[in-house]
Amino acid sequence: MFNKDQTALIQCPGAIGGNYIAPESVTTIQDFAFSACTLMTSITLPNSIINIGEYAIDDCTALAGVYFQGSAPIL
């Protein structure tokens, strides 16, 4: 799911459902990281996020919201 130092969320397994809260260490969400996570209902991202890749949240059919702790990054 993460790179070695847990600063980049590379891929969230599609079978994870419900509410997902990214760790504070994450600064980057890679391209397609949440692609086809059809069981996920919400994503909470820490204020440490500085980069969100292209199509990072794509085809998440049950997703009701993406929440940012602090300010949302400029895309």
pLDDT for 8-39, tens place per residue?
999 998 788 899 999 999 999 999 999 999 99
The set of long-range contacts for 69-74, using a CB threshold of 8 Å and a minimum separation of 24, is 69/44, 69/45, 70/46, 71/47, 73/49
User: Is 15 contained in some domain?
Assistant: yes
User: Is 26 contained in some domain?
Assistant: yes
User: Is 50 contained in some domain?
Assistant: yes
User: Is 75 contained in some domain?
Assistant: no
Tens of pLDDT along 32-75? 999 999 999 999 999 999 999 999 999 999 999 999 997 766 66
Rounded to two decimals, the pTM is: 0.87
CATH number at residue 51: 3.80.10.10
CA distance 39 to 70: 25
Residue 5: both structure tokens together: 């130092």
Domain count, the chain: 1
User: Is 55 contained in some domain?
Assistant: yes
The boundaries of the domain holding residue 57 are 1-70
